[in-house]
Amino acid sequence: DSGVTQTPKHLITATGQRVTLRCSPRSGDLSVYWYQQSLDQGLQFLIQYYNGEERAKGNILERFSAQQFPDLHSELNLSSLELGDSALYFCASSDSHKKSSYNEQFFGPGTRLTVL
Amino acid sequence: GNSVTQMEGPVTLSEEAFLTINCTYTATGYPSLFWYVQYPGEGLQLLLKATKADDKGSNKGFEATYRKETTSFHLEKGSVQVSDSAVYFCALSERHELNKFYFGSGTKLNVKP
């Protein structure tokens, strides 16, 4: 158990709909990262938040947005869903604010999104 | 910019065979290097890590050495087991980027009994 939780575990919805994925980082971790894993594109970095502020953007579509709340949990919002958005969405957290030589990311179990 | 390149899969081996999965990187600074493993139906788990040149990370019989001169971090195991079947990801991060990770494309390993 990495200490990172994600809900829901599975989500099935229709094209054009909007969904929200939720992530709670490990206790004490200020950084949250979102990734998309699809069969044909591997693991794609979407976005990073640090203590409530956006810090880095990757291959995130304009239809997608995220935020990190004062209690440090994060939500990824996916709107106008398309069939191609079907994928595993992972959240990860790290203690990047600490002066440590080890800065690994801890991954949650993922949310499997199926768009029909 | 930063990037990670790892060998294409899938890699299929018989039990007790020797494993090498190649990983090379490009980095602007002095990155930390990682191998993550993803078992079927699960999230990524850290397998091993190395934070500076010539460091060797090891865990569960897997090893990888941080080679700055060849910008490589190849994963090795002397004798694989069926339970090692998974997808392996090489990754790097630089602290000045607040731990933004750069992942390789993943290498699927199939071990047959």
pLDDT, residue B19, reads 97
The answer to whether the Cβ–Cβ distance between A42 and B97 falls below 8 Å is no
The answer to whether the Cβ–Cβ distance between B98 and A50 falls below 8 Å is yes
pLDDT, residue A75, reads 98
pLDDT, residue A38, reads 87
A55 touching B (Cβ < 8 Å): yes
Q: What angle do CA B3, B110, A46 make, to 5 degrees?
A: 35
B49 touching A (Cβ < 8 Å): yes
- Taking only the tens place, the pLDDT of each residue in B84-102 is 999 999 999 876 666 678 8
pLDDT, residue A111, reads 97
The parts of chain A modelled with pLDDT lower than 70 are 40-41, 96-102
By DSSP bridging, strand B107-112 and strand B11-14 are parallel
Confidence of residue B23 (pLDDT cuts 50, 70, 90): very high
Mean pLDDT of the B11-36 span: 94
The answer to whether the Cβ–Cβ distance between A104 and B46 falls below 8 Å is yes
pLDDT, residue B104, reads 93
Mean pLDDT of the B1-14 span: 92
**What is the distance between the alpha carbons of residues A106 and A25, in angstroms, rounded to a whole number?**
9
SS3 of B110, please? strand
pLDDT, residue B28, reads 84
B98 touching A (Cβ < 8 Å): yes
- Taking only the tens place, the pLDDT of each residue in B41-81 is 888 999 999 999 999 999 999 999 999 999 999 999 999 99
pLDDT, residue A40, reads 67
pLDDT, residue A104, reads 82
**What is the distance between the alpha carbons of residues B33 and B19, in angstroms, rounded to a whole number?**
19
